[in-house]
Amino acid sequence: MNNKILGAGIVIIIIAITVIVTLPTSEVQLNINEKIGLVINSPTQSITLQQLDQIYLDAANTGIGRNNIYLFWNVIEPVKNEYDWKQSDILMSLNQKNDLKVTLYFSIINGGALGPFPNWIGKPPLQNLDEDRLVSVLDSILSRYDLIDTVILAGNTESQFRFHEQNIPVYKELFNTVYSEIKQKHPNVQIGNSFALHQVLNKDLSHIVNELAIGDFVAFSYAPVDVLNEIVVTPIQAKQELQQIFDLVGDKKVGIFEISWSTSNFVGGSNSTQTEFLAKSFEFYTENESNLEFFTWYRQYDKPEGTCDIGKQDIADSGVLSVGGSGFGTSEHVIERLSNYVCNAGLINDNGTPKSSWNEFKKQIHILN
């Protein structure tokens, strides 16, 4: 995919934030697994709170215990020292209501790009980024939302340094400073960076992962694609690629930030291969559970064709498809395939019809729980 992490696609029509606390809650007690996650998203660009509440409930009823939330600095602090919590309060309330832990992607690095940063910061290079301001905004987020137990500061990190390896020491110093200060304030929050495994394998970038295997864990996204964004491996071969993660990180803990398989036949996908790979991916999880911090599938719903524009990014489009994220190029040919891959990466069609993979997802979690 493009050198950016993509959004999951939730734009909320705010009727009243207080609706969240008055919506009925399920009385059914489910066994949940805090390691297993799903990127929860809506199938359309606009949605009511009641509809979003049901989407979250359907996701939580699978037995997952985790969701990815993508909060970007330019949305949280659009004016210096003035925080805007409107959208994030809604999303976090829904996660809390459904007993979901949160993996936060904050996006200091987003593939080949930095930020997005607020306008008042401008577009500084890594070496000029204000560490104190970064620590301040992260501290504010973590203090407000105690359900965040994991933070990813850089996504598709390999793409940022592929042609700028001289900046790796700069980022390591920035990361280590922020890590140390946040750990003093929030010692139980786990902090790390994420890489697109398919990009690392396709372009021989394992040395970048080795150099930046810092923090509490190393996270990966994965899509079974080549440099043109076409699915070129079988589900069995894809599982074998996942296993290579442990050769890249040594004895570090690993997180699977986003894992996906598109059903778009335009890029070589199908419902049957998505379902088969989902089962194989859970085999991978079961075989390596002790070394995995989290394992999150991308994502709940498809999006309508033509709406997966990688150039558009807003908070509530709060999903990162690092799965796709960084592994994709920028030519028209490649971007067309990216759009088709992403729009059809969900486990449920955008019209609400479950794919066979949705039932397989629920089955696999039931077995684990």
- Tens digits of residue pLDDT in 252-308: 999 999 999 999 999 999 999 999 999 999 999 999 999 999 999 999 999 998 888
**Cβ neighbourhood burial of 21 (10 Å; 0-12, 13-18, 19+):** exposed
Rounded-to-5 percentages of helix, strand, coil across the chain:
40, 20, 40
Q: Which domain holds residue 329?
A: 12-368
**Count of residues in the chain:** 369
Place of tokens 């890489």: 195
Round to whole Å and give the CA distance between 324 and 322: 5
CA terminus-to-terminus distance, the chain:
33
| pLDDT higher than threshold 50 for residue 208 | yes
In a domain, 5, yes or no: no
Residue 333: band (very low, low, confident or very high) from pLDDT cuts 50, 70, 90: confident
pLDDT in tens, 221-251: 999 999 999 999 999 999 999 999 999 998 9
**Cβ neighbourhood burial of 253 (10 Å; 0-12, 13-18, 19+):** middle
Residue 310: band (very low, low, confident or very high) from pLDDT cuts 50, 70, 90: low
Which residue has better confidence, 358 or 329?
Answer: 358
| pLDDT higher than threshold 80 for residue 317 | no
What are the backbone angles phi and psi of residue 248, rounded to the nearest 5°? -85, -30
Which SS3 state, helix, strand or coil, does residue 178 take? helix
| pLDDT higher than threshold 80 for residue 9 | no
**38: Cβ contacts below 8 Å, ≥ 6 apart:** 59, 62, 64, 66, 67, 296, 297, 299, 300, 347, 361
- Give 150's strand partners: 103, 190
In a domain, 2, yes or no: no
In a domain, 4, yes or no: no
pLDDT in tens, 125-177: 999 999 999 999 999 999 999 999 999 999 999 999 999 999 999 999 999 99
In a domain, 6, yes or no: no
pLDDT in tens, 70-104: 999 999 999 999 999 999 999 999 999 999 999 99
In a domain, 44, yes or no: yes
Question: What rounded mean pLDDT belongs to the chain?
Answer: 89
In a domain, 241, yes or no: yes
Number of domains in the chain: 1
Round to whole Å and give the CA distance between 127 and 136: 18
pLDDT of residue 301: 98
Q: CATH number, domain at 75?
A: 3.20.20.80
In a domain, 172, yes or no: yes
Residue 326: band (very low, low, confident or very high) from pLDDT cuts 50, 70, 90: very low
pLDDT of residue 5: 56
In a domain, 109, yes or no: yes
* Percent of the chain residues past pLDDT 90, beyond the cut: 81
Nearest CA among 104, 106, 105, 114 for reference residue 3: 114
Strands 190-196 and 101-110: unpaired
| pLDDT higher than threshold 80 for residue 349 | yes
